[in-house]
Structure 1
């Protein structure tokens, strides 16, 4: 397995076989036949030459409509999990939130979604060491996988940095004062499917240099353990395995590029890795 393999795995979706759905002329997502047909039966959308069109209703009415659809499909077993967290529905990064829906519905409906991921690291005499989290075995998604020190989806009603500060404390016990020192470093984007849903994700990435004495403590039960590893050891794990959650590989590779650990001299695929950090289209 190579670094590039992880980008291929993350950006693996061909949407040509999916049906797009719209609000007026604004593309909001893609669905497969099971959710397409259920949505037609439910009155979530109607078919047109363009694709599927949702009702011309105000924001509050659409919030309620999609909430009822999420509840019904979850109770019927079509929607496979539930978080109870509203996510914003947008046509693009710059688009205002049009309405909200249950977080777990965003993948089967192929919505554009956002997240915040943080690389917590320590500078030592030997070089950079990276804090790595191991996801709880009780997580509904990717249980037991290695993860970034902090990461979370972007819910409705919070700013990106506000969400990062919240996630820092909940997942790693990083204080607000410490979290406020995090530096925004760019984005990672991809279009991924596991066969059940479509993840059109934009991850906002941050770096946070931590003191040697810092010890992370998880407060929300989502992390089983933490370990601090030399960056070369972390990269070796990535290069040889799929031990990390698929998108975290990309965030760490990006970190290694920006900090000069991976270079054009020591990494033959360096230029392609740089180019593919943002791959999201349509």
Structure 2
């Protein structure tokens, strides 16, 4: 599935050693160029300094959200890893990221969901799939699935019944409000499973406010009411999202 929205303002291509890696707003690119970090490259820009220098310059210009001290891989359009960069900087540079989600049902067909902690920097208090997390620079997809399932839901994979890869979603959209210079490009792989009777999630990392089990009617009503993250809504009920397209 693909969910796509145009950027709020024009963006130009960003490349590293001749390979496309992202995009950047013109004013942001010119700011980085003035510090010797980007160079003009035809109709776009090329990286002319270490990636961590770009991240720190963006931070000093107050162009980033919360600094995470979490490196993410920098990937070319072909998926080749060419470096690492602080997580907070990926949206400003339009860099592609990867995430993993887990949906889970009860044996009688209800859906397990989580409410995100109110102190999370993104989508605080909104409802989400049972688990959703970023694939870090140190993770494979399988490792991220295992780690995030434990940290967010307190579950080991061998406790899940019928665990299967259920699909992938590509999201391309502005990453915040009108003053945000970021653009999200993220591939989400999601998995589905059943939690047996007597098995319930229990958060381990403080990033979940609470869990709930909901029937299909409540789930869809809450999605329509805007109580879920976009990612969760696209995974759990894509037919409710205006503008969703599938290849």
Q: Indicate whether the TM-score tops 0.5.
A: yes
SS of the aligned residue for 2:110 comes to strand
Instruction: Identify the range of structure 1 (203-212 vs 15-24) with the bigger mean alpha-carbon deviation.
Output: 15-24
Q: Quick check: 1:45 aligned with 2:31?
A: no
SS of the aligned residue for 1:157 comes to coil
Query: What's the CA shift for 1:235?
Result: 1.7
SS of the aligned residue for 2:184 comes to strand
Q: Quick check: 1:248 aligned with 2:232?
A: yes
Q: Aligned residue for 1:258?
A: none
Contact kept? 2:161, 2:194, Cα under 8 Å: no
Query: What's the CA shift for 1:179?
Result: 5.5
Q: Quick check: 1:69 aligned with 2:50?
A: no
Query: What's the CA shift for 1:182?
Result: 2.5
CA distance in structure 2 between the partners assigned to 1:277 and 1:249 by the alignment: 15
Query: What's the CA shift for 1:246?
Result: 1.3
2:139 to 154, 158, 166: 158
Query: What's the CA shift for 1:24?
Result: 3.3
- Counting only pairs closer than 5 Å after superposition, residues 98-117 of structure 1 correspond to structure 2 as 98-117=82-101
Q: Aligned residue for 1:188?
A: 169
Identify unmatched segments of 5+ residues in structure 1.
Answer: 1-6, 56-61, 255-261
Identify unmatched segments of 5+ residues in structure 2.
Answer: none
1:12 to 5, 9, 15: 5
Q: Deviations over 1:115-173 (max 9, x none)?
A: 0011011121xxx1111100101101111011111001111121101101000000000
Instruction: Identify the range of structure 1 (45-54 vs 128-137) with the bigger mean alpha-carbon deviation.
Output: 45-54
- Counting only pairs closer than 5 Å after superposition, residues 21-40 of structure 1 correspond to structure 2 as 21-40=14-33
Instruction: Identify the range of structure 1 (70-79 vs 137-146) with the bigger mean alpha-carbon deviation.
Output: 70-79
Give aligned pairs, total: 243
Q: Moved runs in structure 1, 4+ residues, more than 3 A?
A: none
Q: Aligned residue for 1:83?
A: 68
CA distance in structure 1 between the partners assigned to 2:26 and 2:114 by the alignment: 36
Which one has the bigger strand percentage? 2
Root mean square deviation, CA, Å: 2.5
Q: Deviations over 1:157-215 (max 9, x none)?
A: 21101101000000000124236963111201121103421001110010011112111
CA distance in structure 1 between the partners assigned to 2:195 and 2:112 by the alignment: 10
Contact kept? 1:168, 1:179, Cα under 8 Å: no
Q: Aligned residue for 1:58?
A: none
CA distance in structure 2 between the partners assigned to 1:72 and 1:180 by the alignment: 47
